[in-house]
Chains A and B, each alone.
Chain A
Amino acid sequence: MDAPLLSAFKTILVYSIFILASPITTFFVSKIFIFEGILGASPLTSNVWSAVFAVVVLHIAVGMYIYRAYFEADRSKPLVKTD
């Protein structure tokens, strides 16, 4: 009983950290390094596009979690029952 529970917990923990950290990291990294550093955009432009990037990355992360939960949970179900 412990092994599937632990693996599910690990998966959820990794995805939760990814979902919470990725938009914030994307916002500041793209703002400071890409838009203001490389492209030299104005603060307003870099803020807005970094926010858009952060939200897009956030939705990609959530889509990955839903995909994993939808398909992986089905795959691990017989494993739980054989135990």
Chain B
Amino acid sequence: MTNENPIYGPFFGVMGAASAIIFSSLGAAYGTAKSGTGIAAMSVMRPELIMKCIIPVVMAGIIAIYGLVIAVLIAGGIEDSSTYSLFKGFIHLGAGLSVGFSGLAAGFAIGIVGDAGVRGTAQQPRLFVGMILILIFAEVLGLYGLIVAIYLYTKS
């Protein structure tokens, strides 16, 4: 055990893997629940639109897959503290936090946009294209976090 390989080094990596999946799942759960209430309210009157309006739920689920990918990557890189430097731990923590909090933000955006979007689509079907565009822009916020996380991970 040296200054570069302290016993608590893997702690940061483990926290990175955990925060990646925890915060992305938080965002995805909020997005699913919020747009799910919108779909439930909308499909009482327009049940034929359900297939179109499931899209916010699918996009919220993708946020969790971003977190899952990074969590699996980090978990694959965690080793015993004798070969795992503190720098690697910091890198993994940063990668996990970046995808986690970006996913949280993107999930919030998808939930709010999806709720209002499906309710509006039931009344004016032309809104659908706009809702998809806004959802895609909310989705790429999570994708930015994923890109930064993968780029950080390559530094370890």
Chain A residues at the B interface, C-beta cutoff of 8 Å:
4-5, 8, 11-12, 15-16, 19-20, 23-24, 27, 43-44, 47-48, 51-52, 54-55, 58, 62, 65-66, 69-70, 72-73, 76-77, 80
Contacts and interface: CB of A to CB of B under 8 A. Distances in A.
A77 to B, nearest CB: 6
Contacts of A76: 48
27 contacts: A5-B47, A11-B51, A12-B50, A15-B58, A16-B58, A19-B61, A20-B61, A20-B65, A23-B69, A27-B72, A43-B76, A47-B73, A47-B76, A47-B77, A47-B153, A48-B73, A48-B153, A48-B154, A51-B73, A52-B150, A54-B69, A58-B62, A66-B132, A69-B52, A70-B52, A77-B48, A80-B48
Q: Which of B48, B132, B143, B156 has the largest number of chain A CB atoms within 10 A?
A: B48
B65 A12 contact: no
B52 A73 contact: yes
Contact of B146 (A12, A19, A55): A55
A20 B156 CA distance: 29
Could you tell me the dominant secondary structure of chain B's interface residues?
helix
B61 to A, nearest CB: 7
A5 B50 CA distance: 10
Contacts of B72: 27
Nearest to A45: B154
A46 B62 CA distance: 22
Interface residues of B, number: 29
Which 8 A-B residue pairs are closest in the complex by CB-CB distance?
A: A73-B52, A73-B51, A69-B52, A80-B48, A51-B69, A8-B51, A69-B51, A47-B73
B76 A72 contact: no
Interface in B78-95: none
B66 interface: yes
A24 to B, nearest CB: 8
Contacts of A72: 51
Contacts of B128: 70
